[in-house]
Structure 1
């Protein structure tokens, strides 16, 4: 293998990758595809680390795991310790103790253990889910993927060498075959997982490993001088091809894609092409550009910049209750660049110099890394303990209770994608002493949050109700949200399956004595937009007609007032009056969808509209706190307590429904 040669163009490629990521996270227009910068990082990492391992193998005949992990500690830990420590301190100052500080502490521990990717699979709705832009250590998932990969890959190289010796084969042949098989298995698993569980597909090392292995396979090819010598024109064409793929990605890839999937090939091929084009010389224009001082400078501080930028952005958004502000975010991204430079000059370089001068052994480095991790974990536990103590006192305690105040039936009966059939009726009926449900509660999560209201009335009026609710799936027959952003279209397909099952179940319920149905949904969402209103009206009419054909009475619950920020977070920071200003002004949408509902009710004697607006918004101004009751557990879902307190205002209508 050739002697290691510094590649300034690879530092330049790092610069491109980190600029894409930071610009995307800061919300800079035109960078909606910027998250692919992480894919580029994976390819670079796989190429460089495998190259070092292969050089060690060629020069010594073996690979020292202790030396490898010692180098990883020296490379990753100094900046990582500084940034996680700073994040915990900022979290103590800026975040609330009702969930935010606890989540930060947990994610810090997961990051230290290099298990953050699986922590976020379990605790978030996905990388592209709205609230994740306020998770300060979300970006640590990529470091966890790398370290999980490198916990296995060097061991596999050692095993490959042993197999090669035993069967008298060339080690690089076994390693290359292993990389090819790994790429195929990981890639196709990722494609499959992108369609079945997009959240896991994005974060999992099993669906991302092929990107690192692609770089590793390239290292094998370079190490054996298997790259064909090409003319300057061909190399230049390859470089422009790699650059062009990034431009193609800008038009093909967006946050609503199931990613990485098939689309993940674009940034990987781009990175491979640019690395190959710069190999041996920088004769082509693209490689020369990447090798210029500005790109190389940004590339050298890309790691601390990546570490710093996201905690600053996420905490600022959390502190300002999720409000978007492009100027603020660009300013913070710029501040993170300065912090990255200072970290590089004052932390990374001095620490490496200290370790070199003192001849710190790899064993000592590994021990030092473990010791640093323990100290960080203790600091995280300290923040968690503080938050738990704070949230157990006074108004924080009430807000914490409100944030977790979900209906009893929600866990068992409220559904989301993928749809796997309706739950057994017996577990979704509020009373077990009735042979069949008298009422049906049907809708999305805005139906689910009214179930405590029905439960409150059921003892007095002696009825049982069955809950059938599915997230972002309003009870509109034949209507589809048609999401292109924010929610995958897969949800629409699952919603249609749910509604088909509901149509089948209704006939059975009607035969068994069902008397009425309560329809509720997030009517102020997509259904009330101008482009969807006519379709939603048709869908609501079709649903009502179907129910009336079964001889059922119908109540349609009017839109629930909504806010633009989580009310429990707002009340933890601001006054009640201030929080009321975050009410979303959707009067035109509300009037439009209400007009449709009232028109249907005027035409059909067995249809009524129930509207809680006057109760939730006395005097026309909606409140997050009525008396001593916290009304909302987030931006638009009522707390169980608030829903129960609405029961007197619905009693007559529910009695009519029976």
Structure 2
């Protein structure tokens, strides 16, 4: 028998005999439209991402009502029946979406910093753990890597699925009546209270915004609030014996709920969810659900029950599943900035959502062909999900064969990984290891078994930021060709003598520890190479930067003063090493490009807005941009015995225009990091510079 407050007639806005309330789908429609609007353009609805919070409350409420009116047995059979229903509801559409997204990603999304966590997020999404992956990798929901990850949105499904694992243990006693109800309600109140307290503590402590946003432990209270609302209404309806008559309080409560919901969707801020900005949409949803259950005939209830609104609500799961990968694939290819592209992305979303709902969700949820025992659905569903995970992994591996991206098809040209050295030098093995030092680990490259003539005994130490790591291909080749050991100390943003008036957090200690390890390991005659980004970028991987501002920053007198102070500090750090006979090599700035080649080198992406400034910069402009840094490096080299400034620009830009490629092969991966081919082009000049220092 259905709970008392779910029984009723089929008047406009009122429940059908099966307990269906149109206004609940209306609330789902608001939630999914808010999320979609936010993802299209955050300025349209700044707090729209809290539409997910609304979904959580609705899910807790609806799943409770569904189980309460179910005829499934109690005990473990009831739990299996619950999991089977959830499996039929969630798994088929999710599986199809993840595999389709995996195929399209393999076709159009190359491996990069922006996409480096996408694969792991996808694989864990099959088993409902993607939220913990995103929390563990530190990918803030509002960060570029999340915006370009086509699986980021699955974090909320992970939260729900983990909640569903616990739900039968806490709720099934409710169906037994009597003390079981008190026990179930007490358990949910306790669990929700602990979760809310944990969310509040995370917010008050600070520094836990990423984990708090994604973790089930900080979100459980939102789903639990929906469950507790159902239990309160059910107990109230059971005591009355019939649904309560509409009183004078329902409409004011509905208006209050609408106001709280609207405030949350508009005013929520990044870094303040789920507490405190997630509180308002939760309270608003609770107020609307509670008041509408007994007074759904109000103008608010009737508006939420309008046929178009209900239709969107019924499609909400499919819309939510598909809108994000569609939007991300647009970002990677033609862009999502223009009104036309946004409209096309919306049309694709609606079409895919309808196809998914009509041909995947509905048939597998209700179709006779897919009927099976609950246990078979649970076991079979888990096996299919694991199979899907494996298939998705194979799609990732197949990218270099099936991709439409030149980057994925020619990885050795684009990535400085030097993965083909074994075939190129079959007579000589490269030994790669990692050795710990106080601040982290150094990569070590040296010859292993080798039939080539004995090389130098000189060791090469490399300390710097991601540009030092971007020389991996060249450094591995140096170790193979010349012998000797190469030790690479690299950390993003950590460049010695960056000369731009700023330094990433934690870099001072890292660089100090790296130089201390160099001092401990080095011998007279060894080389310390200090590469790094020393001019303002013109573009990031995800967005254009202000070109005029970059040139202004390079010539800023305030930055020049900071540069002089930094030079004195760096000279003091390096003089002991130079005095011990280390040859210090300072890298002059390489050309920086106004667009990232890896995102602008195919037919399907070269008109992306990030490519709008073109891929070239004149040599005269580049010389102007880097002139202050070059002068400072020369000044530093004069203060250090035997130090030199090595300039890669003449090799990379021999003419009047600095471009992204030479002879049809890429010199750069993004706007300032070298490609694998760029490493190989620079290798002869770098080796010549090293050999000059031996004489």
> Shorter chain as normaliser: what TM range?
0.7 to 0.9
**Residue 507 (structure 2) pairs with residue 498 (structure 1):** yes
2:425 maps to: none
Q: How does 1:203-214 map to 2 (within 5 A)?
A: 203-214=214-225
Superposed counterparts of 1:279-290, under 5 Å: 279-282=293-296, 286-290=300-304
Shift of 1:64: 0.9
Structure 1 Cα separation of the partners of residues 458 and 302 of structure 2:
73
- 1:486 corresponds to: none
TM-superposed deviation, 1:643? 2.8
Map residues 126-525 of structure 1 onto 2, 5 A cutoff.
126-158=140-172, 170-184=182-196, 186-188=198-200, 191=203, 195-196=207-208, 198=210, 200-225=211-236, 231-232=249-250, 234-247=252-265, 250-254=266-270, 257=271, 260=274, 262-282=276-296, 286-320=300-334, 325-345=338-358, 347-349=360-362, 352-355=365-368, 362-363=374-375, 365-366=377-378, 369=381, 373=385, 376=388, 380=392, 383=395, 386-387=398-399, 398-399=410-411, 402-403=414-415, 405=417, 422-423=439-440, 427=442, 441-450=462-471, 453=474, 467-475=488-496, 495-500=504-509, 502=511, 518-521=530-533, 523-525=535-537
Distance 1:352 1:647, change over 3 A: closer
**Greater alpha carbon shift after TM alignment, 10-19 vs 603-612:** 603-612
User: In the TM superposition, what is the alpha-carbon distance from 1:59 to its structure 2 partner?
Assistant: 10
d(CA) in 1 for partners of 2:658 and 2:136?
Answer: 34
Residue 445 of structure 1, CA deviation: 0.7
464-473 or 440-449: which moved more?
464-473
1:88–1:380: 8 Å Cα contact kept in structure 2? Answer: yes
Q: Which residue of 2 aligns with 1:487?
A: none
- Kindly indicate whether the alpha-carbon contact (under 8 Å) linking 2:98 and 2:122 is maintained by their aligned counterparts in 1: yes
Q: Which moved more, 1:109-118 or 1:54-63?
A: 54-63
The Cα of 1:386 is off from its aligned counterpart by 4.7
Unmatched 5+ stretches in structure 1: 415-419, 482-491
Q: Is the 8 A contact 2:439 2:510 kept in 1?
A: yes
Show CA shifts across 1:502-559 (max 9, x none): 4587689779889866251263338946468635444432221112245356725314
**What SS class does the counterpart of residue 530 from structure 2 fall into?**
strand
Matched with 1:484 is none
Q: Rate the CA distance shift 1:623–1:210 in 2: closer, same or farther, 3 A.
A: farther
My pick for the range that moved more, 371-380 or 595-604, is 371-380
- Residue 496 of structure 1 deviates from its aligned partner by 3.7
Structure 2: gaps spanning 5 or more residues:
7-18, 420-429, 448-456, 538-544, 579-583
Superposed displacement of residue 154, structure 1: 1.2
Q: What displacement does 1:205 show? A: 2.9
The CA distance in 1 between the partners of 2:117 and 2:634, in whole Å, is 50
Equivalent position of 2:626 in the other structure:
594
Structure 1 length as normaliser, TM-score?
A: 0.74
Q: How much is the aligned-residue C-alpha RMSD, in angstroms? A: 5.3
SS of 1:555's equivalent in the other structure is: strand
Deviation larger for 154-163 or 532-541: 154-163
Q: Does 1:643 align with 2:679?
A: yes
1:563–1:636 Cα contact (<8 Å) kept = no
- Alpha-carbon distance in structure 1 between the residues aligned to 2:586 and 2:28: 58
* SS in structure 2 at match of 1:66: helix
Tell whether 2:588 aligns with 1:557.
Answer: yes
Aligned partner of 2:615 in structure 1 is 583
Structure scoring higher RCO (CA < 8 A, sep ≥ 6) equals 1
- Mark the CA change 1:189 to 1:634 in structure 2 (over 3 Å): closer, same or farther: farther
Q: 1:155 to 1:280 in 2, by over 3 A?
A: same
CA contact (8 A) 2:213 2:274 kept: yes
Q: Which has the higher helix share?
A: 1
Instruction: Find the residue that maps to 1:72 and give its secondary structure.
Output: helix
Structure 2: distance between partners of 1:438 and 1:104: 37
Distance in 1 between residues matched to 2:322 and 2:443, nearest whole Å = 47
The alpha-carbon deviation at position 150 of structure 1 amounts to 0.5
* CA 587–14 in structure 1, closer or farther in 2 if over 3 Å, else same: farther
Residues 601, 55 of structure 1: alpha-carbon distance in 2 compared, 3 angstrom cutoff: same
- Please give the alpha-carbon distance, in whole angstroms, between the structure 2 residues aligned to 1:46 and 1:376: 28
1:112-161 CA deviation, whole Å, 9 max, x = no partner? 43344345567794544435445444433322321122112212334799
Task: Supply the distance in 2 between the matched residues of 1:544 and 1:590 (Cα, whole angstroms).
Answer: 22
1:417 — aligned with what?
none
Equivalent-residue separation in structure 1 for 2:201 and 2:432 (angstroms): 32
Residue 426 of structure 2: aligned partner: none
CA contact (8 A) 2:327 2:336 kept: no
Aligned equivalents of 1:98 and 1:363: distance in 2? 42
CA distance, structure 2, for counterparts of residue 560 and residue 410 of structure 1: 30
Are positions 1:619 and 2:642 aligned together? no
The answer to whether the 8 Å contact 1:179/1:216 transfers is no
Distance 1:584 1:83, change over 3 A: same
Shift in Å at residue 73 of structure 1?
3.2
Query: Which of residues 9, 12, 15 is equivalent to 2:29?
Result: 15
Distance 2:633 2:122 in 1: 54
TM-score of the two chains, using structure 2 as the length reference: 0.71
CA gap 1:235/1:519 in 2 versus in 1, 3 angstroms: same
